[in-house]
Amino acid sequence: MSELEEKAVKAGKADKTKKKKPEKRYNLPRHKFWFGIGKPLTMAYLKIIAGFRRTRNDLTKRPYMILCNHACDLDPLMVIDSVPGVVHALASDHLFKHPVFGKFVAHIAGPIPIVRAQMDLKSIKEAMQVRKDGGSLLIFPEANCCFSSKTSYIAPAIAKLVKQFRMPLALFNVKGSYLTRPRWSCSWRKGRTTCELVRVIEPEELAEMSVDEIYDAICDALSFNEMEYQREKHVKFKGHDLLDGAERMLFQCPECGRLMTMKSEGDSIYCTECGYKVTMNSEGFFEGENVIFDSFDRWDDWQREQAAKLVSEGRFDATGQQPLLFTPVNELYKARRASKNVLLGEGSLALYSDRIEFVTDNAFETDEEGNAVSVGPKTFVWTFDEISKLSCVHKNRIQIAVGEKDYFEIHSRNTYRSAYAYMIYFYCLKRHAQGKPLDFFGM
């Protein structure tokens, strides 16, 4: 039996395992106990690994709806340690798919699972239960760690949710976490991180504000660009392999313009086609003989502009015969909310002008006994009209939402394959076909 078949069998048998009665997710006395023990420990951990300094604020011990920008996996810990009482975070359902760690976190902290950037009715009901039980809610409106160094797109729907819940709104800004560990990186760097309270808006004031006014207040408070911050503060971040995995985000060469030809090596990244190369210094800026862009945000702004320009000028195969992006080795999974994914096959991924295709020579289905059964070659096709959302999860995974309920994930161990590039070009192509401005690339 091949390694791929073994993975499919294990996933299928997990489906047939008899489920125990689930533990009550929200139990305020239990969470108070664990938060009392955990906060001093996480504070010490954050100080050691990220140079975290907690800034003083005047928050009182009462339930809040907390919103914050998001650049690193440590951000929830930094916010929770800056707020009194029990805080329940809305978290990606991937956290719950780990058989041990997921259950541990659910037991002590009771996070609310959401499928990437999708708050369904179940998530809202659980959030309302947290409010009823007297806990605070932590939401990262970007719904994803940013890829470059600045706050990503925030959906206007968050303002409606804030108004609906009628809780005191606390707006935080985390600084320094992007360079501590960018989402594309496999290594940690120690510098200085802070979590600062920007503004508190009381329920009475929220009631008088319009949804648009609330949205503007959220965007103003959460807006942050770490590289611009670094131009002023010059904080040094100590670590190794500073650009390891950077091609997951920096997918286009600024010298020759080719896509997915960048390759990281230690503190450097270079183009495999033209040889363009830069090195990252301890302050997070690029150095070299011919530096075109000296920071992540400026490089990323350029490659986004290039994507929009290529699509708007029609420099792609609009007939759907040739793919704009193609990568050969990937794994396709059927994703399920807060539970283990099901392997469907291994094969190639391609983005065309009107669809995404996944071609496998050995697709799997699960029989009634939970065994993986090979069904041979198969092509999975999702047209742009069927895809309601395409997101990046973790470092380099693509999540495709088809309709309202179906989710698929595409994994790849190859850092050349940039999930971020697929997301950007997907939204450009789809919005171009709809006749909409190419000003939103999703996350």
Rounded mean pLDDT of 12-31?
57
Q: Domains in the chain, start-ordered, CATH in brackets? A: 24-233 (3.40.1130.10), 240-312 (no CATH), 325-433 (2.30.29.30)
The band of 130, judged by pLDDT with boundaries at 50, 70 and 90, is: confident
β-strands 193-201, 52-54 pairing = parallel
3-state secondary structure the chain: CCHHHHHHHHHHHHHHCCCCCCCCCCCHHHHHHHHHHHHHHHHHHHHHHHCEEECCCCCCCCCCEEEECCCCCCHHHHHHCCCCCCEEEEEEHHHHHCCCHHHHHHHHHCCEEEECCECCHHHHHHHHHHHHHCCEEEECCCCCCCCCCECCCCCCHHHHHHHHHCCCEEEEEEECHHHHCCCCCCCCEECCEEEEEEEEECHHHHHHCCHHHHHHHHHHHHCCEHHHHHHHHCCCCEECCCCCCHHHCCCECCCCCCECCEEEECCEEEECCCCCEEEECCCCCEECCCCCCCCHHHHHHHHHHHHHHHHHCCCCCCCCCCCCEEEEEEEEEEEECCEEEEEEEEEEEEECCCEEEEEEEEEEEECCCCCEEEEEEEEEEEECCCEEEEEEECCCEEEEEECCCEEEEEECCCCCCCHHHHHHHHHHHHHHHCCCCCCCCCC
Residue 439's pLDDT is what?
73
What order do you get walking across the sheet with 325-336 strand by strand?
Answer: 372-383, 355-366, 339-351, 325-336, 406-411, 397-402, 387-393
What is the C-alpha separation between 278 and 133, in angstroms, rounded? 52
Is the CB of residue 176 less than 8 Å from the CB of residue 70? no
Residue 18's pLDDT is what?
42
Q: Which two tokens stand for residue 163?
A: 């108004």
Is the pLDDT at 334 greater than 80, yes or no?
Answer: yes
The band of 1, judged by pLDDT with boundaries at 50, 70 and 90, is: low
Is the pLDDT at 118 greater than 70, yes or no?
Answer: no
Residue 13's pLDDT is what?
54
Of residues 102 and 80, the one with the higher pLDDT is 80
What is the C-alpha separation between 271 and 252, in angstroms, rounded? 9
Residue 336's pLDDT is what?
72
Residue 441's pLDDT is what?
60
Name the least confident of 253-262, 273-282, 429-438: 429-438
Residue 119's pLDDT is what?
58
Is the CB of residue 70 less than 8 Å from the CB of residue 140? yes
Of residues 109 and 298, the one with the higher pLDDT is 298
Nearest to residue 154, comparing CAs of 59, 230, 219? 219
Residue 94's pLDDT is what?
65
Residue 437's pLDDT is what?
87
What is the percent of the chain where pLDDT is above 70?
Answer: 87
Residue 371's pLDDT is what?
66
Averaged confidence pLDDT in the chain: 88
The band of 124, judged by pLDDT with boundaries at 50, 70 and 90, is: confident
Residue 104's pLDDT is what?
73
What order do you get walking across the sheet with 52-54 strand by strand?
Answer: 52-54, 193-201, 169-175, 65-68, 136-139, 87-92, 112-114
Name the least confident of 190-204, 239-253, 319-333, 366-380: 366-380
The band of 95, judged by pLDDT with boundaries at 50, 70 and 90, is: low
Residue 117's pLDDT is what?
47
Name the least confident of 62-66, 162-166, 337-341: 337-341
Residue 121's pLDDT is what?
72
Of residues 205 and 407, the one with the higher pLDDT is 205
Rounded mean pLDDT of 28-43?
84
